[in-house]
Amino acid sequence: VGERVIKGPEMIEVTNAKVAMAKEKLKEARTRQKSYADKHRRSLEFQPVIMFS
C-alpha cells in the first residue's frame, strides 16, 4: 500500500484546520475552568483599620 504525499497547499490547509480545532478545544477548557472557579469564588470585604504606634 503506497502512502499519499501531501502537497504544500494541502498541508497548510490541514495544519490550519488542526490549529483551529486546537484553539476551539482550549477555549472550551478555559470556559470550563472559569465556570468551576466562579462557583467557588467568594467576595471578600475589607474594613479600614487605624493603627497607632
Q: Is the CB of residue 28 less than 8 Å from the CB of residue 20? A: no
Query: pLDDT per residue over 34-45, tens digit each?
Result: 999 988 888 888
Measured CA to CA in angstroms, residue 49 lies from 4, 13, 44, 53 at distances of: 73, 62, 16, 13
Cα 40 to its chain centre, rounded Å, is 19
pTM of the model: 0.58
Average pLDDT, the chain: 89
